[in-house]
Chains A and B, each alone.
Chain A
Amino acid sequence: MTETVLAHTESVCPQCLRRLPATRVAENDNVYLVKACPEHGAFRTVIWRGLDNYVAWGARPGAAAPPRGAGPRLEGCPFDCGLCAEHRQHSCCVLVEVTERCNLRCPVCFASAGGTRGDPSQAAIRDWLTALYATSPDVNLQLSGGEPTVRDDLPEIIAMAREIGFDFVQLNTNGIRLSRDPAYARRLALAGLDCVFLQFDALDDQCYRVIRGIDLLDAKLAAIDHCRRARLGVVLVPTLVPGVNTQAIGALVDFAARHTPTVRAIHFQPVSYFGRYPRAPDDADRITLPEVMRAIVAHGGGTLNAADFHPGAAENPYCSFSGSFYVDADNRLHAAGTDQACGCGSAPTRAAPRDETQHARQTVARKWAAPAQEAAPSCCPGVSVLSLDAFLAQRRRSLSISAMAFQDAWTLDLARLRDCYIHVAHPDHRVIPFCAYNLTAQSGRSLYRAD
């Protein structure tokens, strides 16, 4: 058994969160992040299973886009987030947590659920959104929590975000409230919601009981149907937990394909470990991005290829993959192209350099919102565009397949963190990279969340 050091980087100690030198090490077919704390010992965690594509996958296609108004480096990454001058990407998608309350108690949740603080007032949220819009008017906004739908004034918050000027507003939800009332989905759509980012872990209730604590499949199906009726685009978001639902990756893709064009995308999130863990997670408790890709390709039975998937163009390539497909009348997937993609959307071939983050934002907005209504027929006789009609009909059933690997205290690679463009709006007007905001020591101590 031989080890090869692939690169030197930095990480943190999972117990005390001090910054540590780290190495990415290849052994057999896997890549590990290896580090040692002088106080708490050595740590070695798998980060990539599939050495054959690891180096090629990391070729960086996009130029860095440093954040606007970055603060100075004081203690260094990851302690100066807000963002600091070391950060390499400005914001693409920004999460705003509108409540800490939740109507579930999920064992895998990394959000701040079940908090005891009261909800922020609409005035406070307006203040956050206005400050965010002043520095980053073109970000995609995700309303998150907690479970945002426990707030009865969510439609007003959505309308406020649109009034302030945000072009694309999505809702991160478990779907329970959406499932109970079809009129609620219509209210959210009328308020200006574009997309429902729906937790959707499995197609059987046994998995929901393990991951979410209760049976939820019927609620998920009803929520999707109500979004269909309200013309809200849906992104299915399975959290992948080894031994629980990883065997269902292919079936989840099939389900997503059958439910296009309401379902616009399926976005896998390999489980990461935030919060209090008496025992460090084993490598067997983790699934890495190439394993998710291989499961999708294998399920396709020859119709899908590894080459249909690409690393993100704007964020660190080891954080995500995506591929664009369209669905035929028999619900089979066909690759829509082979261009460079981004982790939560995709991007086309281009002749000149461009702002990859801005392009990712716009592409995600189009691909995750409900498909455009059919354009009106041309007024003029002598015009026949049957080929355009056929193309648009086909593309209405497009499906994005993507995944994002969040980093926890064991897997955190500061080189990846500095490339992060998924940020969280802090109440004090800073924006914090998602993985830094949710980072916790094994004891549960957080760097950025208020206790």
Chain B
Amino acid sequence: MKIDPGNGLKLLCAQCRLPLVSAPVTVRYLGQAFPVELPRCPQCGYTYVPEDLATGKMLQVEQALEDK
């Protein structure tokens, strides 16, 4: 699958110039692992984390784990 961020444009890997595709990724923090799907470059493996995800749900999960 090719990734369209919603504005009609495809996300491209800046290094490989290839469209990012949705791929399974495991994110880890403080011993916990979360299987998610994120846009990733099919060639170099660069993974894109949207800003609203990083500052939204991911931050909430980090804080919850820090608080345990």
Contacts and interface: CB of A to CB of B under 8 A. Distances in A.
Contacts of B37: 382-385
Contacts of B59: 375
Contacts of A387: 34-36
Interface in A219-271: none
A334 B63 CA distance: 18
B3 A382 contact: yes
Contacts of B30: 348-349
A379 B64 contact: no
Interface in B13-50: 20-22, 30, 32, 34-39, 48, 50
A371 to B, nearest CB: 9
Main secondary structure of the interface of B (DSSP, over half): mixed
Given A380-B6, A382-B1, A387-B35, A339 B57 contact: no
Interface in A350-400: 363, 366-367, 372, 375-376, 378-389, 391-392, 395, 398
Contacts of B50: 378-380, 383
A379 B39 contact: no
A336 interface: yes
Given A324-B67, A382-B1, A383-B36, 10 more contacts: A346-B68, A349-B30, A376-B52, A378-B52, A380-B48, A381-B6, A384-B37, A391-B34, A392-B61, A392-B64
B36 A385 contact: yes
B67 A388 contact: no
Contacts of B11: 380
A11 to B, nearest CB: 36
In this complex, the interface size class of chain B, counting residues with CB under 8 Å from chain A, is: 20 to 34
Contacts, number: 93
Closest 4 CB pairs of A and B: A375-B56, A337-B68, A382-B22, A384-B37
Nearest to A389: B57
Interface residues of A, number: 30
A383 B56 contact: no
A280 B1 CA distance: 77
Given A380-B5, A382-B1, A382-B37, A346 B57 contact: no
Interface of A: 324, 336-337, 339, 345-346, 348-349, 363, 366-367, 372, 375-376, 378-389, 391-392, 395, 398
A55 to B, nearest CB: 27
Contact of A392 (B53, B57, B67): B57
A371 B35 CA distance: 24
Contacts of A337: 68
Contacts of A349: 30
B58 interface: yes
Given A348-B68, A381-B4, A384-B22, A375 B38 contact: no
5 contacts: A375-B60, A380-B11, A382-B37, A385-B37, A391-B61
A155 to B, nearest CB: 28
Contacts of B57: 375, 378, 385, 388-389, 392
Contacts of B4: 381
Contact of A383 (B34, B38, B64, B66): B38
A378 B64 contact: no
Nearest to B34: A387
A395 B68 CA distance: 9
Given A363-B67, A376-B56, A391-B64, A382 B34 contact: no
A299 B5 CA distance: 52
B36 A384 contact: yes
Nearest to A387: B34
